[in-house]
Amino acid sequence: MRLILTLEYDGTPFHGWAAQPGLPTIEAAMREALGETFVSVGNLAVAGRTDSGVHALGQVASVDVEGGPPAERAVAALNPRLPDEINVLSAAEAPAGFDARHSARSRSYRYRLFTRPTPSPFEAHRSWWLPRPLDEDALAGAAAALGGEHDFKAFTPAQTRHEVFVRVVERAEWIRRGDHLDFEITADSYLRHMVRSLVGTMVEAPGAIPGLLDGRARSEAGATAPPWGLYLVSVAY
């Protein structure tokens, strides 16, 4: 049986999704819980391989399992075996041929800026505290320029395994929510550090964004925003 699992997690104590020898990762914790719940586990795939410190509100994984509880009881069986920072929201039997990564049509991320003049202990590792004034109109214009098909080479590390840098952005906007200023983006797929590099560049020089969307060098864009403000919000299939 292939399961579709929807997960949420606080990425703070983990070195990202992908398993790494000797380091705590989301994948390692999931494999351990799955192994304790089912007799056999295979083909674990994930929609977005989040980096160290990055969070998820609606991550999606697929996995082949046998010899355990039915899909409708998988949530109750898995959650007690997972760290407090990881929670399975839902589980269902997957349709034939479903793969969490390759079947995804788009992924949506949110990056949170906390703009209050003073920091908050409740925002530590949850957002990027940035109390200085920001030109929100300029940020809105930069986000609007991202829509459509562009070459995002300027927004991923220069040393990369990517060979194609063109991505299609369905939606990008900044949204003010009280003391938070959130950047939200939906795209077909992403380059490594792409969202964080976009945010860092927009914060430093929002007017530079349109001129960087044609395959410029990484050195021409701004800094990469810290990981703790980034959330994988949802995946569409």
Report how far residue 148's alpha carbon sits from residue 168's, in angstroms, rounded to the nearest whole number. 5
Q: Alpha-carbon torsion 141, 142, 144, 145, what sign?
A: positive
Q: Taking Cα atoms as reference points, which of 5, 123, 157, 125 lies closest to residue 55?
A: 125
| Percent of the chain that is helix, strand, coil (3-state, to 5) | 25, 35, 40
Q: Cα 98 to chain center, whole Å?
A: 20
Q: Count Cα neighbours of 93 within 13 Å in the Cβ-side half-sphere.
A: 8
Which residues make Cβ contacts (< 8 Å) with residue 90, sequence separation at least 6?
4, 5, 6, 75
Collapsing DSSP to helix, strand or coil, 91 comes out as: strand
135 counts as catalytic: no
Three-point CA angle 222, 226, 228, nearest 5°: 150
DSSP 8-class letter at 190: -
Options 10, 51, 64, 99, the catalytic residue:
51
Q: Which residues are catalytic?
A: 51
